[in-house]
Amino acid sequence: MNYDIHVGAILGLPGKVMAFFASLIAASLPITGFIIWWGKKKKNKNHSATKNLPQYH
C-alpha cells in the first residue's frame, strides 16, 4: 500500500496528476518565499534612506 501511494498507482492517472501539481507547488514555495523576502529587503533599504528626511505635507 505504501508503494502504491508513493508511485501514485492508488488513484491512477488523476492521482499522478494531483501529485505532480502538489509537488510543483511545494517545490515553488522556497523560491517564491525568497523572492518576497528579497523584495521586502530592497524596499526597506530604499525606505530607510529617506526615513530621516523631513516630511513636508
Q: Which tens digits make up the pLDDT trace of 16-50?
A: 888 889 889 999 999 999 999 988 887 776 665 55
Residue 3: pLDDT over 70: yes
Using left for φ > 0, alpha for ψ between -120 and 50, and beta otherwise, residue 32 falls in alpha
Name the residue with higher pLDDT: 6 or 52.
6
CA distance 20 to 26: 10
Q: How far apart are the first and last CA of the chain?
A: 68
- How much of the chain exceeds pLDDT 90, in percent? 28
The C-alpha angle 21, 40, 34, rounded to 5 degrees, equals 35
